[in-house]
Structure formats: structure tokens, C-alpha cells
Amino acid sequence: MPALPELGVGTIWLAGLDPWIEACEPLLDFLEIEPATMTLADGSRPAADDALRRLADDPRPIIAHSVSAPIGGTIAPDTGFEAVAAAADVVDAPWVSEHLSINRLRHADGSIHPTGFFLPPAQTPEAVEVAAANLRRLREITGRPVAFETGVNYLRPKPGEMSDGAFWRAVAEAADCYILCDLHNVWCNEVNGRDSLAQTIDELPLERICEVHLAGGRHHNGYLLDSHAGLVAPQLMAIAGRVIERLPALKAITFEMMPDTIPLCEIDEASYRAQFEHLQRLWARRGTAAGRAMCDVVTHVPGDTADAAAAPRHDAESWEAALAASFTHLPVDPHAAVDDPGIDLYRHLIWKMRSGTVINTHRLTYRLLALSEGLERANETLDDYQRGTPPALWIQDEAEGFSEYLRKAGADVPYLLDVMEYELASRQVALTGEPAEVRFGCDPAPLLGSLQRGERPTTPIPEPHVVLIEP
């Protein structure tokens, strides 16, 4: 594997975090970007993407961490690798990372649809080869060292499958690549009933771990979720110290947090800054206890159970078919689906993810609907849209899908479609840098102003207007 530079402590960059990042600038040695947040519906990166170019001017190194082209599935990403490569070239990323997950499935009618949320691959030798082949292709297309992220898995361990740590080790060795060890994911897996964090770390090839992710989470129906909500829990921070001391080749520690969780978790600048001061102390201890085990005895070795030979084992394609039967909008044999209580959680997370995308891209449209017909009716609209429309891979695709749904469904709320077209066009202008015109059936200024303030607008006087939206 090629040598990597030592970066230090950094954070994921997302729109909305700029003021917080600036406040902690002396403590941040690098930034990490998610190229999918800077792409068009087809996965291309527009030349006028000011945010990416502004970040490229930052003197600190920037890692490209993809969330759009996971390498765990048999359906290879179409344009995802190229989009990651393009963004990595702009910022000259020292390495590229991607998730060891599945985000597209082939359904019973042969159609291929995104899942709307990362799903876990089968932890079998066949799945190891699938992931390793995808990683080799990602490395070839980007021309850079690659790492995969250790994923969260809300399903119960299956008899005969490889343990989490053994599976990740096998993938890294087969692809001859690095590992991005997301300690919050591994901790979630332990809390939710999978392998212990100590066992998983002891099974990993520590010399391949180039980066550690840390984040906060929240609980839902008995599960600890990898929600990137708030600061790192003190218990996990203590565990992270023990792990980081053991990593001989660690190059980066990255903190992940969604901007919209800052007010919800009541985070202030002092606590945010203290987080990075603590991470800098952990960074100073990296590799100081290399060779020390997390636990004295590994309690579960893959294939070591008495019934492992007789246990059913999913190859990669049959496992993906079972997942497709669990989440499809098509009629299927219920016995073909995965039998696991975690499936209901994934369904909930898919709904939340898609709903969040729609609300974020149609904020004023959703607000007008909720103010006019009530929150329950607004959420019923989201339900109806998701039942009839498969998930989309790109944010802009989901935005356009919801817009098309509203056009076909019509609208009882006056000027709802006008506001929808305005928001869709505004996002397109921001992405492409090209101006656009939108027609309103009334004066848009008081209508949009009321919605911006969270107020139900008074019925405007019908009067055609054309609004020019410029970059």
C-alpha cells in the first residue's frame, strides 16, 4: 500500500458548519468533504461549484469521503466513482474513502433502484470478493489510495456468517487497501447485539487503519443509531483513547456531526471547541500502545461454532434479493424477505432519510402545505409520495421526484406548485450557476416572506409575475 501523510485532527465539512469550523480553526488540521453534497442529479460535478473550489483554496489537506458509491453490492456504481474522482482531483485528496455497504438493489421485475439508506452486505467469502473488486476499481478510477468505512449493521448476526472484524479484515486484505474505522459504528453494533467493539478491534489488521471516525448518536426503539447527532459520548471517547493508542499507522481522526443537530443537542461554541481539544490529546497518544490487545480472549471466531457448517449462508446475490424483497414497492413472496426485527428500523430510517431530503429541498413548499392543511396531512403527502416512488440516489433526483409527484397529484393549496417550482429552480441554479425564470400566479414577495417567517400567508391577489433567479 502507498504511504499516506499524517494529517491529525479534522472534521467533516457540510454546509452550515462554516461558523463552527472557523471558531475552531487552530485545532483543525484538515477537512473531509462528501462529494455527493456537491453534485447534480446525474452525479456530475458542475464547473461552477463555488463551495468545492473555495474549499480547494483552504491550505489544509482535504479528504474525499464518498457517500454515493458504496462498494458492498454486486451492482457497481454507475457514475459514483467518477464523481468521487472529480472532487478528489479538485482538492487533491491524499486518499479517498467509501462505505462498505449496499445502496442499490435489483428487484423482482429486474428493475434496479436505490435503497434510500445504506444496507449491510452479506458477510461471506463471496461478498468479500465483490467488495474487493469494487475497491480495486475505485482505486483505478480515482488514481488514489482508498479506504472503506466499517459500517453500522442493525440486523442480528446470522449463523454461519463471518464476524464483523473478520469480514472487514478479509476485505482489506483481498483489496490490499486501508480501513476507515468508524468507532461509533462499531460501538453501535456492540450496543445493538452484534460483536463487541473489543473483539472487532482485535480481529482487524490495525496496520491498515489509516483513519478513525467519531460521532454522536441517539436511541430509537431500543437501537443506538449512527445519526451523527451531537458530541461524542464520554464512554465512547474513553474507548477511542484505548483504540487509538493501539493504531501504528493512524493518519487522521475525524469528527462527524450534522449541522441541524447543533441546536437540538444544545451545543455551544465552548463544548464544540472542547471536543477538538480532547481529540488533539488523543491524536498525541496514537500508536503508543501498539501490539496491546483490547481483550484477552476473542469470544467468537467465525466458523468456530458447532452449527456453522450446517447454517444457511447467503451468497451476495441471494442476500441482495432478500433485501430487495424486504424493501420493494412491488408485490413479492413475504417468505423471500429478510426475517429480522431490524428490517422495520431500516424502513423507518429510509422514510426519515427521504422525508428529510424532501423537506430540506422543498422547505417552503412543505411549510406552506403544513401551515395550510396541518402537519398530519403534510406527512401523509410524504407517505403517499414514498409509497409510489422508489428512492433516488442523488439529492437532486429526490427533489425532482417529489416535484413531479406534486405536479401529477395537483394541489388544493393555492400557489403550492408555484413555490415548489421556485425552490426546485433555486437549487438547480445554485448547482449549475445558470439563471432560471419561474412564473408565479401572484406577487411572490409577500408569499415567500410569510413562509420564511413561518407564518401562514394571507390569500394573495392573483397577478402573474415572472421571477428571475440568478446565481
Kindly state whether residues 225 and 365 are assigned to the same domain: no
**Confidence at residue 311, expressed as pLDDT on a 0 to 100 scale:** 45
Strands (DSSP E) found in 13-158? 30-33, 62-65, 96-99, 102-106, 112-119, 146-149
The C-alpha cell that represents 6 in the structure block:
499524517
pLDDT, tens digit (0-9, with 9 covering 90-100), for 430-470: 777 789 999 999 999 999 999 999 999 988 889 999 999 99
Question: Can you tell me whether residue 281 is helix, strand or coil?
Answer: helix
Kindly state whether residues 173 and 279 are assigned to the same domain: yes
Nearest Cα to Cα of residue 430 among 46, 61, 66 = 46
For position 192, which CATH number holds?
3.20.20.150
End-to-end CA distance of the chain: 43
Is-contact 184 254, C-beta < 8 A?
no
Q: What percent of the chain has pLDDT over 70?
A: 91
Whether pLDDT at 38 is above 70: no
Q: Point out the domain boundary residue: 262, 284, 306.
A: 284
**Confidence at residue 56, expressed as pLDDT on a 0 to 100 scale:** 81
CA 382 vs. chain centroid, Å, equals 21
In a domain, 386, yes or no: yes
**Confidence at residue 42, expressed as pLDDT on a 0 to 100 scale:** 47
CB atoms within 10 A of CB 207: 15
Kindly state whether residues 53 and 172 are assigned to the same domain: yes
In sequence order, which ranges of 11-149 are alpha helices (DSSP H)? 18-23, 50-56, 80-91, 125-142
Q: CA 427, CA 108: separation in Å to the nearest integer?
A: 34
Torsion of CA 372, 351, 99, 251, to 10 degrees: 50
Q: Point out the domain boundary residue: 242, 260, 284.
A: 284
Q: What domain range includes position 202?
A: 8-284
DSSP notation for 406-465: HHHH--SSTTHHHHHHHHHHHHHHHHH---EEEEEEE-HHHHHHHHHTT-PPP-PPEEEE
What Rg, from alpha-carbon coordinates, does the chain have?
A: 23
DSSP category for residue 372: H
Q: What percent of the chain has pLDDT over 90?
A: 73
Nearest Cα to Cα of residue 275 among 244, 240, 237, 239 = 237
In the chain, the largest separation of any two C-alpha atoms, in whole Å, equals 77
Whether pLDDT at 37 is above 90: no
Kindly state whether residues 201 and 113 are assigned to the same domain: yes
Q: Point out the domain boundary residue: 265, 284, 303.
A: 284
Number of domains in the chain: 2
Q: Which residues have C-beta within 8 Å of that of residue 170, sequence separation ≥ 6? A: 125, 128, 162
In a domain, 306, yes or no: no
Q: CA 265, CA 20: separation in Å to the nearest integer?
A: 15
Average confidence (pLDDT) over 402-416:
92
In sequence order, which ranges of 117-229 are alpha helices (DSSP H)? 125-142, 164-175, 183-191, 197-203
The C-alpha cell that represents 285 in the structure block:
497518544
Kindly state whether residues 224 and 371 are assigned to the same domain: no
Average confidence (pLDDT) over 88-104:
95
Buried b / exposed e along 336-359 (16+ C-beta atoms within 10 A): ebbeeebbebbeebbbebbbebbb
In a domain, 309, yes or no: no
**Confidence at residue 8, expressed as pLDDT on a 0 to 100 scale:** 98
pLDDT, tens digit (0-9, with 9 covering 90-100), for 293-320: 776 433 333 433 334 444 445 689 999 9
**Confidence at residue 306, expressed as pLDDT on a 0 to 100 scale:** 36
Q: CA 116, CA 42: separation in Å to the nearest integer?
A: 16
Whether pLDDT at 338 is above 70: yes
In a domain, 133, yes or no: yes
Kindly state whether residues 192 and 112 are assigned to the same domain: yes
In a domain, 331, yes or no: no
Kindly state whether residues 134 and 235 are assigned to the same domain: yes
Question: Can you tell me whether residue 203 is helix, strand or coil?
Answer: helix
In a domain, 308, yes or no: no
Kindly state whether residues 261 and 350 are assigned to the same domain: no
Strands (DSSP E) found in 241-307? 252-256
- Burial (CB < 10 A; 0-12, 13-18, 19+), residue 130, is buried
* Reported confidence tier of residue 429, pLDDT bands at 50, 70, 90: confident
Kindly state whether residues 351 and 274 are assigned to the same domain: no
Is-contact 215 254, C-beta < 8 A?
no
Q: Which residues have C-beta within 8 Å of that of residue 59, sequence separation ≥ 6? A: none
Kindly state whether residues 130 and 196 are assigned to the same domain: yes
Whether pLDDT at 67 is above 60: yes
pLDDT, tens digit (0-9, with 9 covering 90-100), for 190-242: 999 999 999 999 999 999 999 999 999 999 999 999 999 999 999 999 999 99
Is-contact 392 361, C-beta < 8 A?
no
Kind and range of the H or E run holding 373: helix 363-373
Q: CA 204, CA 214: separation in Å to the nearest integer?
A: 18
Nearest Cα to Cα of residue 372 among 420, 416, 410, 403 = 416
Kindly state whether residues 14 and 113 are assigned to the same domain: yes
In a domain, 321, yes or no: no
Kindly state whether residues 350 and 263 are assigned to the same domain: no
In a domain, 17, yes or no: yes
Q: CA separation (Å) from 301 to 37, 196, 203?
A: 39, 12, 9
